Structure 1
Amino acid sequence: MTIKGKTVKLFFEEGNHHGIINAEMINWTGFVIVAPRTALPELYKMEGIDRAGIYFLVSDEEKKVYVGETMNGIKRLKDHDDKKDFWDKLILVQTKDFNLTKTHCSYLEHRCGQLITKSFYDLENVKSLHDYTGTLPRPDISDMEVFLENISFILPATGVTILQPIVAKQDKTKAVIAFEMNNKYVTGEAYLQDDLFVIKRGSIGKESVSPSLFEGLKEKREALIKKGIFKIENGQLVVMEDYPTTSPSTAGCYLTGTPISGPKYWKLKGTDMTYKDWEKKLIEDK
Protein backbone atom coordinates (compact mmCIF):
# COMPACT_ATOMS: atom_id res chain seq x y z
CA MET A 1 0.00 0.00 0.00
CA THR A 2 1.42 3.37 -1.07
CA ILE A 3 1.21 6.11 1.55
CA LYS A 4 0.65 9.53 -0.05
CA GLY A 5 0.40 11.59 3.10
CA LYS A 6 2.51 14.68 3.77
CA THR A 7 3.73 16.23 7.01
CA VAL A 8 3.57 19.98 7.61
CA LYS A 9 5.22 21.47 10.70
CA LEU A 10 3.85 24.77 12.03
CA PHE A 11 5.65 26.89 14.59
CA PHE A 12 3.75 29.82 16.13
CA GLU A 13 6.45 32.32 17.11
CA GLU A 14 4.32 34.21 19.66
CA GLY A 15 2.40 31.19 20.86
CA ASN A 16 -0.88 32.38 19.31
CA HIS A 17 -2.69 32.10 15.97
CA HIS A 18 -2.50 35.80 15.17
CA GLY A 19 1.26 36.27 15.13
CA ILE A 20 4.12 34.97 13.00
CA ILE A 21 3.81 31.41 11.67
CA ASN A 22 6.78 29.43 10.42
CA ALA A 23 5.76 26.50 8.17
CA GLU A 24 7.96 23.68 6.89
CA MET A 25 7.39 20.38 5.16
CA ILE A 26 9.33 17.13 5.52
CA ASN A 27 11.73 16.49 2.60
CA TRP A 28 11.43 20.06 1.26
CA THR A 29 14.18 22.67 1.53
CA GLY A 30 11.67 25.51 1.32
CA PHE A 31 9.93 27.22 4.22
CA VAL A 32 7.13 29.76 4.59
CA ILE A 33 6.76 32.70 6.95
CA VAL A 34 3.23 34.10 7.40
CA ALA A 35 2.92 37.28 9.41
CA PRO A 36 0.53 40.16 10.02
CA ARG A 37 1.77 43.58 8.93
CA THR A 38 1.95 44.59 12.58
CA ALA A 39 4.72 42.01 13.09
CA LEU A 40 7.16 43.61 10.63
CA PRO A 41 9.42 45.04 13.39
CA GLU A 42 9.87 41.51 14.78
CA LEU A 43 10.45 40.06 11.30
CA TYR A 44 13.26 42.52 10.55
CA LYS A 45 15.09 41.18 13.61
CA MET A 46 14.76 37.50 12.66
CA GLU A 47 17.76 35.65 11.26
CA GLY A 48 17.77 33.40 8.21
CA ILE A 49 15.02 35.16 6.20
CA ASP A 50 17.23 37.36 4.05
CA ARG A 51 17.63 34.93 1.15
CA ALA A 52 16.25 34.58 -2.37
CA GLY A 53 12.58 33.69 -2.76
CA ILE A 54 9.14 35.11 -3.43
CA TYR A 55 6.65 37.00 -1.29
CA PHE A 56 2.98 37.89 -1.22
CA LEU A 57 1.36 41.03 0.20
CA VAL A 58 -2.23 40.09 1.00
CA SER A 59 -5.45 41.85 1.92
CA ASP A 60 -8.03 39.26 2.94
CA GLU A 61 -10.63 41.99 3.39
CA GLU A 62 -10.26 43.37 -0.16
CA LYS A 63 -9.25 39.99 -1.65
CA LYS A 64 -6.11 41.48 -3.21
CA VAL A 65 -2.60 40.04 -3.57
CA TYR A 66 0.70 41.53 -4.71
CA VAL A 67 3.31 38.92 -5.65
CA GLY A 68 7.01 39.67 -6.01
CA GLU A 69 10.44 38.08 -6.08
CA THR A 70 13.31 38.98 -3.80
CA MET A 71 17.02 38.25 -3.63
CA ASN A 72 17.40 39.58 -0.08
CA GLY A 73 14.31 38.28 1.69
CA ILE A 74 12.70 40.52 4.24
CA LYS A 75 14.83 43.54 3.29
CA ARG A 76 12.82 43.90 0.05
CA LEU A 77 9.71 44.54 2.14
CA LYS A 78 10.93 47.81 3.63
CA ASP A 79 10.21 49.63 0.38
CA HIS A 80 6.73 48.08 0.10
CA ASP A 81 5.93 49.01 3.69
CA ASP A 82 6.43 52.66 2.78
CA LYS A 83 4.68 52.67 -0.61
CA LYS A 84 1.84 50.12 -0.43
CA ASP A 85 -0.97 50.48 2.09
CA PHE A 86 -3.59 47.93 1.01
CA TRP A 87 -2.04 44.82 2.56
CA ASP A 88 -2.31 43.47 6.09
CA LYS A 89 -0.55 40.09 5.76
CA LEU A 90 2.85 39.03 4.46
CA ILE A 91 3.81 35.60 3.16
CA LEU A 92 7.52 35.03 2.56
CA VAL A 93 8.75 31.87 0.79
CA GLN A 94 12.44 31.00 0.87
CA THR A 95 14.79 28.00 1.04
CA LYS A 96 17.20 26.75 3.67
CA ASP A 97 19.90 26.44 1.01
CA PHE A 98 21.11 29.03 -1.52
CA ASN A 99 20.11 27.30 -4.75
CA LEU A 100 17.42 29.74 -5.95
CA THR A 101 18.65 32.18 -8.60
CA LYS A 102 16.90 35.38 -9.70
CA THR A 103 15.58 33.53 -12.75
CA HIS A 104 14.16 30.78 -10.52
CA CYS A 105 12.43 33.39 -8.36
CA SER A 106 11.14 35.26 -11.40
CA TYR A 107 9.67 32.02 -12.76
CA LEU A 108 7.94 31.28 -9.44
CA GLU A 109 6.64 34.86 -9.25
CA HIS A 110 5.12 34.57 -12.71
CA ARG A 111 3.55 31.16 -12.08
CA CYS A 112 2.11 32.25 -8.73
CA GLY A 113 0.60 35.28 -10.47
CA GLN A 114 -1.13 32.93 -12.92
CA LEU A 115 -2.56 30.87 -10.05
CA ILE A 116 -3.77 33.93 -8.14
CA THR A 117 -5.83 35.08 -11.14
CA LYS A 118 -7.70 31.75 -10.95
CA SER A 119 -8.42 32.14 -7.22
CA PHE A 120 -10.91 34.26 -5.26
CA TYR A 121 -8.23 36.96 -5.03
CA ASP A 122 -7.36 39.72 -7.50
CA LEU A 123 -3.74 40.21 -8.55
CA GLU A 124 -2.71 43.74 -7.53
CA ASN A 125 0.28 43.97 -9.91
CA VAL A 126 -1.21 42.18 -12.92
CA LYS A 127 -0.13 44.97 -15.33
CA SER A 128 3.52 44.88 -14.27
CA LEU A 129 3.82 41.11 -13.94
CA HIS A 130 5.19 39.84 -17.23
CA ASP A 131 6.68 36.52 -18.21
CA TYR A 132 9.66 35.45 -16.15
CA THR A 133 13.03 36.97 -17.05
CA GLY A 134 15.75 34.83 -18.58
CA THR A 135 15.50 31.23 -19.67
CA LEU A 136 15.37 28.16 -17.46
CA PRO A 137 16.56 24.73 -18.64
CA ARG A 138 13.84 22.06 -18.65
CA PRO A 139 15.22 20.31 -15.52
CA ASP A 140 15.07 23.63 -13.64
CA ILE A 141 11.49 24.27 -14.79
CA SER A 142 10.56 20.80 -13.54
CA ASP A 143 12.18 21.54 -10.16
CA MET A 144 10.37 24.88 -9.88
CA GLU A 145 7.01 23.25 -10.68
CA VAL A 146 7.61 20.79 -7.81
CA PHE A 147 8.57 23.76 -5.61
CA LEU A 148 5.32 25.46 -6.64
CA GLU A 149 3.29 22.35 -5.80
CA ASN A 150 4.80 22.39 -2.32
CA ILE A 151 3.97 26.08 -1.84
CA SER A 152 0.39 25.43 -2.99
CA PHE A 153 0.11 22.54 -0.53
CA ILE A 154 1.64 24.21 2.52
CA LEU A 155 -0.10 27.61 2.34
CA PRO A 156 -3.64 26.30 3.11
CA ALA A 157 -2.20 24.64 6.23
CA THR A 158 -1.46 28.16 7.50
CA GLY A 159 -4.93 29.43 6.55
CA VAL A 160 -3.77 31.10 3.31
CA THR A 161 -5.85 30.31 0.19
CA ILE A 162 -4.43 32.75 -2.37
CA LEU A 163 -3.24 29.97 -4.73
CA GLN A 164 -6.30 27.73 -4.51
CA PRO A 165 -8.29 27.68 -7.78
CA ILE A 166 -11.97 28.54 -7.76
CA VAL A 167 -12.90 25.87 -10.28
CA ALA A 168 -12.28 22.13 -10.15
CA LYS A 169 -11.14 19.80 -12.92
CA GLN A 170 -12.66 16.35 -12.85
CA ASP A 171 -10.12 13.54 -12.61
CA LYS A 172 -11.18 11.22 -15.43
CA THR A 173 -8.91 8.45 -14.13
CA LYS A 174 -11.00 7.94 -10.99
CA ALA A 175 -14.47 6.45 -10.58
CA VAL A 176 -17.00 9.25 -10.09
CA ILE A 177 -19.64 9.16 -7.36
CA ALA A 178 -22.35 11.40 -8.79
CA PHE A 179 -25.34 13.11 -7.16
CA GLU A 180 -28.30 15.09 -8.43
CA MET A 181 -30.91 17.51 -7.10
CA ASN A 182 -34.13 18.08 -9.04
CA ASN A 183 -37.11 20.19 -8.03
CA LYS A 184 -39.18 23.09 -9.31
CA TYR A 185 -36.27 25.54 -9.18
CA VAL A 186 -33.11 23.43 -9.27
CA THR A 187 -31.64 20.96 -11.74
CA GLY A 188 -28.23 20.22 -10.32
CA GLU A 189 -25.51 17.61 -10.59
CA ALA A 190 -22.45 17.14 -8.41
CA TYR A 191 -19.66 14.66 -7.74
CA LEU A 192 -17.20 13.82 -5.00
CA GLN A 193 -13.50 14.41 -5.59
CA ASP A 194 -10.61 14.79 -3.12
CA ASP A 195 -13.12 15.04 -0.23
CA LEU A 196 -14.82 18.00 -1.92
CA PHE A 197 -18.43 18.16 -3.13
CA VAL A 198 -18.17 19.62 -6.64
CA ILE A 199 -21.14 21.32 -8.32
CA LYS A 200 -21.03 20.32 -11.96
CA ARG A 201 -20.95 22.76 -14.85
CA GLY A 202 -24.41 23.24 -16.37
CA SER A 203 -26.31 22.94 -13.09
CA ILE A 204 -29.27 25.32 -12.76
CA GLY A 205 -30.36 27.13 -9.61
CA LYS A 206 -32.55 29.99 -8.40
CA GLU A 207 -31.61 33.57 -9.21
CA SER A 208 -33.09 35.00 -6.01
CA VAL A 209 -31.55 34.69 -2.57
CA SER A 210 -33.52 34.21 0.63
CA PRO A 211 -32.99 36.78 3.43
CA SER A 212 -32.32 33.81 5.72
CA LEU A 213 -29.26 32.63 3.74
CA PHE A 214 -26.05 33.11 5.73
CA GLU A 215 -24.32 36.40 4.94
CA GLY A 216 -21.03 34.64 4.20
CA LEU A 217 -22.65 32.44 1.57
CA LYS A 218 -24.50 35.42 0.07
CA GLU A 219 -21.22 37.31 -0.34
CA LYS A 220 -19.41 34.31 -1.80
CA ARG A 221 -22.29 33.56 -4.18
CA GLU A 222 -22.13 37.16 -5.41
CA ALA A 223 -18.35 36.91 -5.77
CA LEU A 224 -18.75 33.76 -7.87
CA ILE A 225 -21.17 35.60 -10.14
CA LYS A 226 -18.69 38.47 -10.56
CA LYS A 227 -15.90 35.98 -11.32
CA GLY A 228 -18.07 34.34 -14.01
CA ILE A 229 -18.19 30.95 -12.28
CA PHE A 230 -21.94 31.43 -11.79
CA LYS A 231 -24.05 33.39 -14.25
CA ILE A 232 -27.54 34.87 -14.07
CA GLU A 233 -29.31 34.00 -17.29
CA ASN A 234 -33.04 34.04 -18.12
CA GLY A 235 -33.96 34.43 -14.48
CA GLN A 236 -31.85 31.46 -13.37
CA LEU A 237 -28.47 30.82 -11.81
CA VAL A 238 -26.28 28.85 -14.22
CA VAL A 239 -23.06 27.14 -13.10
CA MET A 240 -20.44 27.86 -15.80
CA GLU A 241 -17.52 25.81 -14.38
CA ASP A 242 -17.18 22.86 -12.02
CA TYR A 243 -17.06 24.48 -8.59
CA PRO A 244 -15.78 22.68 -5.45
CA THR A 245 -17.52 23.16 -2.10
CA THR A 246 -16.80 21.70 1.33
CA SER A 247 -20.20 20.01 1.77
CA PRO A 248 -23.45 19.05 0.04
CA SER A 249 -25.23 21.66 2.18
CA THR A 250 -23.02 24.48 0.89
CA ALA A 251 -23.58 23.31 -2.68
CA GLY A 252 -27.34 23.14 -2.07
CA CYS A 253 -27.41 26.63 -0.57
CA TYR A 254 -25.67 28.09 -3.63
CA LEU A 255 -28.21 26.52 -6.00
CA THR A 256 -31.39 27.09 -4.00
CA GLY A 257 -30.42 30.47 -2.53
CA THR A 258 -31.78 29.29 0.82
CA PRO A 259 -30.28 27.50 3.86
CA ILE A 260 -30.99 23.79 3.32
CA SER A 261 -29.74 20.46 4.60
CA GLY A 262 -27.84 19.18 1.56
CA PRO A 263 -27.58 15.52 2.67
CA LYS A 264 -31.40 15.31 2.63
CA TYR A 265 -31.86 16.88 -0.80
CA TRP A 266 -28.99 15.54 -2.90
CA LYS A 267 -29.59 11.99 -4.19
CA LEU A 268 -27.24 9.39 -5.59
CA LYS A 269 -27.63 9.86 -9.33
CA GLY A 270 -30.25 7.60 -10.89
CA THR A 271 -31.65 6.47 -7.52
CA ASP A 272 -33.92 7.67 -4.71
CA MET A 273 -31.14 7.25 -2.13
CA THR A 274 -30.28 10.53 -0.40
CA TYR A 275 -26.71 11.55 0.30
CA LYS A 276 -27.47 11.08 4.00
CA ASP A 277 -28.59 7.46 3.49
CA TRP A 278 -25.68 6.77 1.11
CA GLU A 279 -23.22 8.12 3.67
CA LYS A 280 -24.82 6.06 6.46
CA LYS A 281 -24.60 2.88 4.38
CA LEU A 282 -20.98 3.62 3.52
CA ILE A 283 -20.10 3.92 7.20
CA GLU A 284 -22.01 0.75 8.14
CA ASP A 285 -20.24 -1.23 5.42
CA LYS A 286 -16.79 -0.36 6.76
Structure 2
Amino acid sequence: MNTFGKTIRLFLLDGTANGLTTAELSNWTGIGVKVPRIKIKEYSNRPEFQKPGVYILIGKGENNEDEAYIGEAEVVKDRLAQHIANRDSWTEVIFFASKDRYLNKASVKYLENRLYELAVKAGRYTIDQNIPTKPGLSEAEQAELEEFLSNVKVLTSSLGHKLFELLEETIDHGEIRQQVFYCKSGAGAFSTGSPSTEGFIVYKDSLFIIQEQNAFPKGIKLEREQMLNEGILEIQGTFYRLTKDYIFNSPSRAAAATLGRNANGRVEWKNEDGVELKFLEI
Protein backbone atom coordinates (compact mmCIF):
# COMPACT_ATOMS: atom_id res chain seq x y z
CA MET A 1 0.00 0.00 0.00
CA ASN A 2 1.35 3.42 -0.96
CA THR A 3 1.87 5.92 1.84
CA PHE A 4 2.39 9.65 1.55
CA GLY A 5 4.23 12.15 3.68
CA LYS A 6 2.31 14.43 6.00
CA THR A 7 3.12 17.91 7.25
CA ILE A 8 2.35 18.35 10.94
CA ARG A 9 2.34 21.76 12.58
CA LEU A 10 2.84 21.81 16.35
CA PHE A 11 2.32 25.11 18.15
CA LEU A 12 3.51 25.52 21.76
CA LEU A 13 1.37 28.35 23.03
CA ASP A 14 3.71 29.56 25.79
CA GLY A 15 6.92 28.41 24.12
CA THR A 16 7.41 25.28 26.24
CA ALA A 17 6.18 21.69 26.19
CA ASN A 18 4.64 22.20 29.64
CA GLY A 19 1.72 24.30 28.45
CA LEU A 20 -0.90 23.96 25.73
CA THR A 21 0.16 22.41 22.42
CA THR A 22 -1.96 22.39 19.27
CA ALA A 23 -1.40 19.91 16.43
CA GLU A 24 -2.65 20.37 12.87
CA LEU A 25 -2.21 18.68 9.50
CA SER A 26 -2.12 20.40 6.13
CA ASN A 27 -5.49 20.34 4.34
CA TRP A 28 -7.34 18.97 7.39
CA THR A 29 -10.17 20.72 9.19
CA GLY A 30 -9.48 19.03 12.52
CA ILE A 31 -7.23 20.18 15.33
CA GLY A 32 -5.62 18.36 18.23
CA VAL A 33 -4.94 19.95 21.61
CA LYS A 34 -2.73 18.61 24.42
CA VAL A 35 -2.78 20.32 27.79
CA PRO A 36 -1.74 19.37 31.35
CA ARG A 37 -4.61 18.95 33.78
CA ILE A 38 -3.34 21.76 36.01
CA LYS A 39 -3.39 24.20 33.06
CA ILE A 40 -6.91 23.48 31.76
CA LYS A 41 -8.54 26.31 33.72
CA GLU A 42 -5.99 28.76 32.31
CA TYR A 43 -6.78 27.86 28.69
CA SER A 44 -10.42 26.73 28.85
CA ASN A 45 -11.85 29.91 27.29
CA ARG A 46 -10.06 29.22 24.02
CA PRO A 47 -12.41 28.39 21.10
CA GLU A 48 -11.22 24.77 20.77
CA PHE A 49 -12.66 24.03 24.24
CA GLN A 50 -16.14 25.27 23.31
CA LYS A 51 -16.73 22.70 20.55
CA PRO A 52 -17.80 19.06 20.25
CA GLY A 53 -14.84 16.72 20.44
CA VAL A 54 -13.35 13.41 21.43
CA TYR A 55 -10.80 13.36 24.26
CA ILE A 56 -8.25 11.09 25.93
CA LEU A 57 -7.44 11.46 29.62
CA ILE A 58 -3.92 10.14 30.25
CA GLY A 59 -2.26 9.17 33.51
CA LYS A 60 -0.86 6.29 35.53
CA GLY A 61 -2.68 3.35 37.11
CA GLU A 62 -2.19 1.78 40.53
CA ASN A 63 0.86 -0.18 39.37
CA ASN A 64 2.33 2.85 37.57
CA GLU A 65 1.19 1.49 34.21
CA ASP A 66 0.08 3.86 31.44
CA GLU A 67 -3.67 4.40 31.69
CA ALA A 68 -6.17 6.20 29.47
CA TYR A 69 -9.85 7.08 29.42
CA ILE A 70 -11.52 7.94 26.11
CA GLY A 71 -14.65 10.08 25.98
CA GLU A 72 -16.71 12.50 23.92
CA ALA A 73 -18.40 15.79 24.62
CA GLU A 74 -20.69 18.30 22.95
CA VAL A 75 -18.68 20.99 24.75
CA VAL A 76 -15.18 19.80 25.64
CA LYS A 77 -14.68 22.42 28.37
CA ASP A 78 -17.75 21.29 30.32
CA ARG A 79 -16.85 17.60 30.25
CA LEU A 80 -13.26 18.24 31.33
CA ALA A 81 -14.55 20.28 34.28
CA GLN A 82 -16.58 17.24 35.36
CA HIS A 83 -13.53 14.98 35.14
CA ILE A 84 -11.41 17.44 37.12
CA ALA A 85 -13.99 17.29 39.89
CA ASN A 86 -14.58 13.53 39.86
CA ARG A 87 -11.54 11.71 38.47
CA ASP A 88 -8.08 11.77 40.05
CA SER A 89 -5.76 9.50 38.08
CA TRP A 90 -5.12 11.61 34.97
CA THR A 91 -2.48 14.29 34.49
CA GLU A 92 -3.06 15.52 30.93
CA VAL A 93 -5.64 15.44 28.17
CA ILE A 94 -5.45 15.25 24.40
CA PHE A 95 -8.63 16.18 22.56
CA PHE A 96 -9.67 16.62 18.96
CA ALA A 97 -12.21 19.04 17.58
CA SER A 98 -12.99 20.54 14.19
CA LYS A 99 -12.03 24.03 13.07
CA ASP A 100 -15.37 24.20 11.23
CA ARG A 101 -18.68 22.60 12.23
CA TYR A 102 -17.91 19.16 10.82
CA LEU A 103 -18.19 17.26 14.11
CA ASN A 104 -21.54 16.78 15.87
CA LYS A 105 -22.84 14.61 18.71
CA ALA A 106 -23.19 11.48 16.55
CA SER A 107 -19.78 11.84 14.93
CA VAL A 108 -17.89 12.32 18.21
CA LYS A 109 -19.67 9.29 19.68
CA TYR A 110 -18.55 7.27 16.65
CA LEU A 111 -14.97 8.47 17.12
CA GLU A 112 -15.12 7.65 20.84
CA ASN A 113 -16.18 4.06 20.10
CA ARG A 114 -13.58 3.54 17.39
CA LEU A 115 -10.73 5.03 19.43
CA TYR A 116 -11.69 2.74 22.30
CA GLU A 117 -11.54 -0.26 19.94
CA LEU A 118 -8.13 0.80 18.59
CA ALA A 119 -6.68 1.39 22.06
CA VAL A 120 -7.86 -1.98 23.38
CA LYS A 121 -6.53 -3.76 20.30
CA ALA A 122 -3.14 -2.03 20.57
CA GLY A 123 -2.90 -3.02 24.24
CA ARG A 124 -0.34 -0.37 25.11
CA TYR A 125 -2.36 1.43 27.81
CA THR A 126 -4.83 0.21 30.40
CA ILE A 127 -8.24 1.47 29.23
CA ASP A 128 -10.30 2.18 32.34
CA GLN A 129 -13.93 2.36 31.17
CA ASN A 130 -16.94 0.56 29.73
CA ILE A 131 -17.35 0.02 25.98
CA PRO A 132 -18.75 3.25 24.45
CA THR A 133 -21.98 3.02 22.44
CA LYS A 134 -21.55 3.13 18.66
CA PRO A 135 -24.17 5.28 16.90
CA GLY A 136 -25.88 4.29 13.68
CA LEU A 137 -24.34 6.24 10.79
CA SER A 138 -24.49 5.84 7.02
CA GLU A 139 -21.60 4.16 5.20
CA ALA A 140 -20.61 7.52 3.72
CA GLU A 141 -20.50 9.17 7.15
CA GLN A 142 -18.47 6.31 8.58
CA ALA A 143 -15.98 6.50 5.70
CA GLU A 144 -15.44 10.23 6.30
CA LEU A 145 -14.96 9.69 10.02
CA GLU A 146 -12.48 6.86 9.43
CA GLU A 147 -10.33 9.36 7.53
CA PHE A 148 -10.65 11.79 10.45
CA LEU A 149 -9.74 8.91 12.76
CA SER A 150 -6.55 8.12 10.86
CA ASN A 151 -5.39 11.70 11.40
CA VAL A 152 -6.28 11.52 15.10
CA LYS A 153 -4.11 8.43 15.37
CA VAL A 154 -1.13 10.13 13.69
CA LEU A 155 -1.39 13.27 15.80
CA THR A 156 -1.83 11.38 19.07
CA SER A 157 1.47 9.61 18.38
CA SER A 158 3.09 12.92 17.43
CA LEU A 159 1.93 14.36 20.76
CA GLY A 160 3.79 11.62 22.61
CA HIS A 161 1.27 8.82 23.14
CA LYS A 162 1.17 5.75 20.88
CA LEU A 163 -1.84 4.18 22.54
CA PHE A 164 -3.58 3.54 19.19
CA GLU A 165 -0.53 2.11 17.40
CA LEU A 166 -0.21 -1.66 17.06
CA LEU A 167 3.20 -3.07 17.90
CA GLU A 168 3.31 -4.65 14.44
CA GLU A 169 3.17 -1.17 12.93
CA THR A 170 6.56 -0.36 14.49
CA ILE A 171 8.30 -3.18 12.62
CA ASP A 172 10.41 -1.95 9.70
CA HIS A 173 9.17 -3.61 6.52
CA GLY A 174 12.62 -3.93 4.99
CA GLU A 175 13.79 -7.43 4.11
CA ILE A 176 15.91 -7.92 7.24
CA ARG A 177 13.43 -6.43 9.69
CA GLN A 178 10.68 -8.81 8.57
CA GLN A 179 12.68 -11.78 9.82
CA VAL A 180 11.89 -13.41 13.14
CA PHE A 181 14.86 -13.77 15.49
CA TYR A 182 15.38 -16.30 18.26
CA CYS A 183 17.06 -16.08 21.67
CA LYS A 184 17.49 -19.30 23.62
CA SER A 185 19.61 -21.04 26.23
CA GLY A 186 20.51 -24.58 27.22
CA ALA A 187 18.37 -24.12 30.33
CA GLY A 188 15.25 -23.87 28.18
CA ALA A 189 14.68 -20.15 27.72
CA PHE A 190 13.21 -19.48 24.29
CA SER A 191 12.07 -16.12 22.92
CA THR A 192 11.10 -14.93 19.47
CA GLY A 193 11.17 -11.32 18.36
CA SER A 194 11.82 -8.68 15.72
CA PRO A 195 13.59 -5.30 15.55
CA SER A 196 11.21 -2.35 15.84
CA THR A 197 11.35 1.41 15.40
CA GLU A 198 10.96 1.57 19.20
CA GLY A 199 13.56 -1.06 20.08
CA PHE A 200 12.87 -4.79 19.94
CA ILE A 201 9.52 -6.62 20.08
CA VAL A 202 9.44 -9.95 21.91
CA TYR A 203 6.44 -12.04 20.95
CA LYS A 204 3.74 -13.60 23.09
CA ASP A 205 4.45 -17.06 24.59
CA SER A 206 8.21 -16.49 24.78
CA LEU A 207 9.77 -18.17 27.84
CA PHE A 208 12.10 -16.27 30.19
CA ILE A 209 14.36 -17.87 32.79
CA ILE A 210 13.13 -17.03 36.29
CA GLN A 211 16.48 -17.43 38.07
CA GLU A 212 18.59 -14.26 37.80
CA GLN A 213 22.39 -14.23 37.96
CA ASN A 214 24.14 -12.07 40.56
CA ALA A 215 25.26 -9.40 38.07
CA PHE A 216 21.79 -9.10 36.52
CA PRO A 217 21.13 -5.39 35.82
CA LYS A 218 18.86 -3.80 38.41
CA GLY A 219 16.84 -1.89 35.82
CA ILE A 220 15.92 -5.04 33.90
CA LYS A 221 15.16 -6.86 37.16
CA LEU A 222 12.70 -4.10 38.07
CA GLU A 223 11.17 -4.17 34.59
CA ARG A 224 10.57 -7.92 34.85
CA GLU A 225 9.00 -7.44 38.29
CA GLN A 226 6.68 -4.78 36.90
CA MET A 227 5.77 -7.03 33.96
CA LEU A 228 4.92 -9.79 36.44
CA ASN A 229 2.78 -7.41 38.53
CA GLU A 230 0.89 -6.26 35.44
CA GLY A 231 0.27 -9.80 34.18
CA ILE A 232 2.52 -9.37 31.15
CA LEU A 233 4.61 -12.21 32.56
CA GLU A 234 3.15 -15.24 34.30
CA ILE A 235 4.86 -18.18 35.98
CA GLN A 236 4.79 -21.38 33.93
CA GLY A 237 6.79 -24.13 35.59
CA THR A 238 10.37 -22.91 35.96
CA PHE A 239 9.90 -20.05 33.47
CA TYR A 240 8.10 -16.78 33.01
CA ARG A 241 5.77 -16.87 29.99
CA LEU A 242 5.08 -13.67 28.08
CA THR A 243 1.29 -13.20 27.86
CA LYS A 244 1.38 -10.54 25.11
CA ASP A 245 3.79 -8.99 22.63
CA TYR A 246 6.10 -6.58 24.45
CA ILE A 247 8.58 -3.91 23.34
CA PHE A 248 11.98 -3.61 25.03
CA ASN A 249 14.04 -0.53 24.26
CA SER A 250 16.93 -2.55 22.78
CA PRO A 251 17.81 -6.08 21.59
CA SER A 252 20.23 -6.43 24.53
CA ARG A 253 17.57 -5.59 27.10
CA ALA A 254 15.22 -8.10 25.46
CA ALA A 255 17.92 -10.81 25.51
CA ALA A 256 18.86 -10.09 29.13
CA ALA A 257 15.21 -10.30 30.20
CA THR A 258 14.98 -13.68 28.45
CA LEU A 259 18.20 -15.15 29.82
CA GLY A 260 18.24 -13.68 33.33
CA ARG A 261 21.75 -12.27 32.89
CA ASN A 262 23.73 -9.58 31.10
CA ALA A 263 23.54 -10.16 27.37
CA ASN A 264 24.64 -8.65 24.06
CA GLY A 265 21.43 -8.77 22.07
CA ARG A 266 23.15 -8.36 18.73
CA VAL A 267 24.91 -11.67 19.42
CA GLU A 268 22.17 -13.55 21.29
CA TRP A 269 19.40 -12.87 18.75
CA LYS A 270 19.79 -15.06 15.64
CA ASN A 271 17.63 -15.73 12.62
CA GLU A 272 16.45 -19.19 11.58
CA ASP A 273 19.77 -19.77 9.80
CA GLY A 274 21.74 -19.03 12.97
CA VAL A 275 23.04 -15.67 11.71
CA GLU A 276 23.51 -13.12 14.50
CA LEU A 277 21.56 -9.88 14.39
CA LYS A 278 24.76 -7.81 14.29
CA PHE A 279 25.63 -9.17 10.84
CA LEU A 280 22.22 -8.23 9.43
CA GLU A 281 21.93 -4.65 10.66
CA ILE A 282 24.48 -3.09 8.31
TM class by smaller structure:
0.7 to 0.9
1:261 and 2:264 aligned: yes
Q: How far apart are the structure 2 equivalents of 1:275 and 1:151?
A: 35
The one-letter code of the counterpart of 2:263 is I
Q: Which runs of 5+ in 2 are unaligned?
A: none
Per the TM alignment, residue 252 of structure 1 is displaced from its structure 2 partner at its CA by: 1.5
Q: CA deviation at 1:136?
A: 0.8
Paired position in structure 2 for 1:28: 28
Q: In 2, distance between residues paired with 1:189 and 1:92?
A: 37
Within 1, Cα distance between the matches of 2:146 and 2:226? 29
With normalisation by structure 1, the TM-score equals 0.81
Q: How far apart are 1:249 and its partner, in Å?
A: 2.1
Structure 1 CA distance for aligned equivalents of residues 206 and 238 of structure 2? 14
Normalized against structure 2, the TM-score is what?
0.82
Tell me the residue number matched to 1:278.
280
- What is the CA deviation profile of residues 90-127 of structure 1, one whole-angstrom value per residue up to 9, with x for unaligned ones? 1111121211121111111112222333433222222x
Equivalent pair of 1:263/1:274 in contact (CA under 8 Å): yes
Aligned to 2:129: 125
Rounded Cα–Cα distance in structure 2 between residues aligned with 1:214 and 1:234: 24
- Alignment partners' CA distance in 1, 2:152 and 2:83: 22
Change (3 A) 1:95 1:259: farther
- The Cα shift of 1:163 comes to 2.6
**What's the RMSD between the two structures over aligned residues?**
2.9
Alpha-carbon distance between aligned partners in 1 of 2:57 and 2:191, rounded to the nearest angstrom: 38
Which residue does the alignment assign to 1:38? 38
What percent identity do the matched residue pairs reach?
25
Q: How many residues align?
A: 272
Partners of 2:52 and 2:213 lie apart in 1 by 50
Of stretches 67-76 and 228-237 in structure 1, the one that deviates more from structure 2 is 228-237
> How far did 1:87 drift?
1.5
User: Are positions 1:197 and 2:212 aligned together?
Assistant: no
Q: Is the 8 A contact 1:22 1:31 kept in 2?
A: yes
Shift of 1:26: 2.5
Give how far 1:246 is off: 4.2
List aligned pairs for 1:127-206, cutoff 5 A. Answer: 129-132=131-134, 134-165=135-166, 168=168, 176-185=178-187, 186-192=189-195, 197-206=200-209
Q: Distance in 2 between matches of 1:223 and 1:140?
A: 43
Q: Specify the SS of the correspondent of 1:88.
A: strand
Q: In structure 2, how many angstroms separate the alpha carbons of the residues matched to 1:197 and 1:4?
A: 26
Query: Unaligned stretches of 5+ in structure 1?
Result: none
